[in-house]
Structure formats: structure tokens, C-alpha cells
Structure 1
């Protein structure tokens, strides 16, 4: 199955590899020594910037979809209340008709999750490219020469191919740097969820068990990053750090300027606007 998946997503993987090769060239163009650790770290950073910039329209669509669902939520709650306990087929059909009308009124799309699903092949390709590069495997435009360059690049004795356990044992200073990067990636993931995502999530309609899981998700995500960091190469940890920093900034902007209607974040924004109007 993994081989089939790799073959299906090969065009996406090769496209990402081409972008990473181009960002490495760009790092050299700004004065960094080609093949240096700084050049490769900047290349990974620019890769994150390029990919997340391409995905901005998807982000905007998701924000608009969450707003549409929030605007429709009160009517949908009332609809469920009116039809609670109904088992009659004719009435259930009428309920579905009303539900579709409410969705149409507020612009709720049945394909609202499609953009998120479309991101999965890209994220898989990113993982494969960075993983293959740091493992010493050539892929697409990242030929043997570039792979050897990435493998040889070193910062304080830390290579893109370094793994946490072996690095801590052989070079404690480099190990501390890698642990710090992993902690930074985990902390950014936690704070993004705790500060920005949860305050924009309305859990009123969720069962208590699901609401509890929703509140635990930030911690589970952070623990997942730390657990994975023990097994993946340093290049992937660097990618996670840069990517999570982008996510933190992006979610902060959404939380500040376009919170989901009806959420605690939206109430905070309205209170802040009211205070500004009074003063």
C-alpha cells in the first residue's frame, strides 16, 4: 500500500522536490554558501513559505466556511429541536429539505471539508521529500549531489540527517539544540490550538465526551510532535518548527480579525470594539 500511495503521489512529491531545490538555489543567491547548514535551513524555511502561501486561498475558504456554519447553527439547532424523536419518513424528508434550505441561505457547502482533504497529498509529499532528503535518498530535482550536500551540512555538529537519541549520546550540545527545536515546534502547536483555535470553536452542540476531546486536542498534538521528534531526522524537526510558526501567526491573525461568529473569540472582539467606541 505505501508503494502504491508513493506512485500515485509521485507528481506532487517531485513538484515539492523541485521547489526545495529552487529554494536552496535562492539561499545561495542571497549570499549563503551553497551546501552550508544555513543555506539548507533557509531552503526549508522558504519551502514552508512557498507552500503555505499557495494554500492561503484554502485557508480563506475554510474561514468563510466556518463563518457560514456558525451563522446557520442557531437555525439548525431549532430544526433539530422541532424534529427531535421523529421517526416518520415523510417528516424526516421534510427536515432534510429544511436543512438544505438553511445551508443554502447561509452558503454552507456540502464540500466544505474538501479543501482540507486536498491538502493531505501535499502534506504527505512534503513529509516524503524532507524525509528522503535527510535520509540521503535522491528524489526528483534533489539529485545525488544536492542530497550529499544536505547530508554534509552541519551546524554546531548537528546535521539535517541527525536523530535525537544518537545525537544526545555523541554530541550533547547538538542534542540540546535539537531538543530545543522539538520543544519549540511542540509549544507553537500547543499555543496555536489553546490561544487561537479553541477560542474560535463552539462546543455547545457537542456531546460532553467530544467537547472534552476537543479541549484535550492541543495537548495531544504537542505530545505527538515530541514523540515523533524522537524518531524523525533533524530536517523534519526544522520543517515542523517553521511550519508551526507560520500556523501560529496565521491562526493569530484569524483569531484577531475574523473569529468564528458566536465563539468566545468573537465575543472578545465585539467587547473590544465596544470599549473602543465608548472611549
Structure 2
């Protein structure tokens, strides 16, 4: 019994419900297209459920950007004052500034709620692709997923090396597609919507490397995860790209290049 089991079972129920609905409409239960739509349904359900956390993160980023000049001036004022009384006043001033600019007390903590969901989804896809029943995804659905293919490659298959060059082309193409969507999102939308003024040089360099490192990580791990999970990554990355584009266009972080573009 794993702590992630309740989440995995909830996600399995989403997949099973989507599969039942599609087959009721006449879709082939063993077809790859049916299962790709089921995976897309999981993406939509998870991302809609996480929208309140996205809004929280957006408000946090905007509030932090508005408070940054005051916090920087405060840090400069107390830079050489290390006595207990000064440190106490420093913390009180920080709390006051945070309250004035509406920085949430919980900070980034709610965003961490996403991590168990991603882990649970990975384990669900890996277990079902490996032939194990999970919650509402009983043996019949597991068998149906095992029979499903995308361009001739089973969704339950893993790795770049399989039945010839066609297998390599499909799996590598899916991994590169997910990596490309991730790179575009990080490089052209997230990075330009981030305030780097006053940020340590090492953090700025790390942020500049992040898009390439994230894309490379997806390409590498694409060779060891089920093809079904690659399909999920593509759908999820496409959602992230669209969501980030909306934020970049209409809700840019104050002081960021994206915000300066709209002036």
C-alpha cells in the first residue's frame, strides 16, 4: 500500500470513465486513438483541478515582484546589522512589506501539492503499461491498453530500440515533440515572464540553462518510460504552452520583459 495509491486510483477512475464514454459513442476499445483521447482526458481533468494553484502562483509572482524594490532597500539597510534586536526588526519589516503587497503567507507551499499528482500519474501509467490492474482500470482495460498502438508502436512499449527503425522514429519523435514544447515554453514564455533584476548571477545562469536541460531530460527519459506516458507528456506540455502563453500575454509579471513588451 503506497501513499500515492488514492491519487493513482482517482486518476485511474478518470481514464476508465473516459474510456467507457468513448466506447459508448462507438470508439474501438483497443484502438490507439481511443487511448490517446483517454490520456488527453486525464490531462484536462488534472490541469483543471490544478488551476486554483496556478492562480495562487500567479498572484504570488506578481506580489513578490511588486514588493521586490522595498525588500531590496530593506536588505541593504540591515546588511551590516547582525545583532538580535536588528534581526528581529528586519523580520518584522519583511512581514509588514509582504502584507502590504499581498504576498500569501503560505508562499509556494500550495504548489508542492502538484508533485504527488505527477508521481501518482507516472506510477499509474507505468503499472498499467506493465500489465497491472489499478483501481477502476481492471484486467479488461489493462488488456485493451496493451493491445493499443500509435503508428504501429504499442502504447505499453518502452525504449527507443524495438521493432526496427519505425519504432525508433515514433518513440524518438514523441520524445522530441514533448521536449520541443517544453523548451519553447521555458525559453520564450516562462523566462521572459520572470524578473531577474537583483537575482544572483549563478541563479540567472541556471535559469538560462533550464530550458535546454529540461528538454534534454525529457529526451533521455523518453527512452525508458512507456509510450503512453510520452503521449501524456505531449498533451501536458501542449497545455502548459497554451497556459503560459495566456499568462505571458495578459498577466505578465510586473518588471519582467513580458510586461515591458506590453507598455
| TM-score bucket (shorter structure) | over 0.9
1:95 is the counterpart of 2:90: yes
Aligned equivalents of 2:34, 2:148: Cα separation in 1 = 9
Question: How many angstroms apart in 2 are the aligned matches of 1:147 and 1:171?
Answer: 25
Q: Secondary structure at the match of 1:34?
A: coil
Does residue 7 of structure 2 align to residue 15 of structure 1? Answer: no
Q: 1:31 to 1:174 in 2, by over 3 A?
A: farther
Q: Is this contact kept in 1: 2:147–2:154, CA < 8 A? A: yes
- Cα offset for 1:8? 1.4
Name the structure 2 match of 1:274.
none
Partner of 2:179: 186
Question: 5+ unaligned residues in a row in structure 1: which ranges?
Answer: 1-5, 271-279
Counting only pairs closer than 5 Å after superposition, residues 40-119 of structure 1 correspond to structure 2 as 40-119=35-114
The residue that corresponds to 1:174 in the other structure is 167
**Which residue does the alignment assign to 1:195?**
188
Residues of 2 paired with 1:30 and 1:105: CA distance?
54
Post-superposition shift, 1:225?
0.3
Does the 8 Å CA contact 1:163/1:234 hold for their aligned counterparts? yes
TM-score normalised by length of structure 1: 0.91
The secondary structure found in structure 2 opposite 1:164 is coil
CA contact (8 A) 2:160 2:172 kept: no
Residues 74 and 165 (structure 1), Cα distance of their counterparts in 2 relative to 1, 3 Å cut: same
Cα drift, residue 47 of structure 1: 0.8
| Stretches of 4+ aligned residues off by more than 3 angstroms | none
User: Would you say the 8 A contact 1:229–1:237 is kept in 2?
Assistant: yes
Q: Distance in 1 between matches of 2:149 and 2:2?
A: 32
1:210-266 CA distance string (max 9 Å, x none): 110011111110000001001111011111011000000000100000010011100
2:164 and 2:21 map into 1 onto residues whose CA distance is 31
Distance in 2 between residues matched to 1:251 and 1:206, nearest whole Å: 22
Q: Is contact 1:24-1:39 (8 Å) kept?
A: yes
Give the CA deviation at 1:77.
0.6
Match of 2:159 in 1: 164
Post-superposition CA distance 1:46-71 (Å, at most 9, x none): 11011101111111111011111111
TM-score by length of 2: 0.97
Say whether the 8 Å CA contact 1:157–1:171 is kept in structure 2. no
Unaligned runs of 5+ in 2: none
Please tell me the root mean square deviation across aligned C-alpha atoms, in Å: 1.2
Which structure shows the bigger proportion of residues in helix conformation?
1
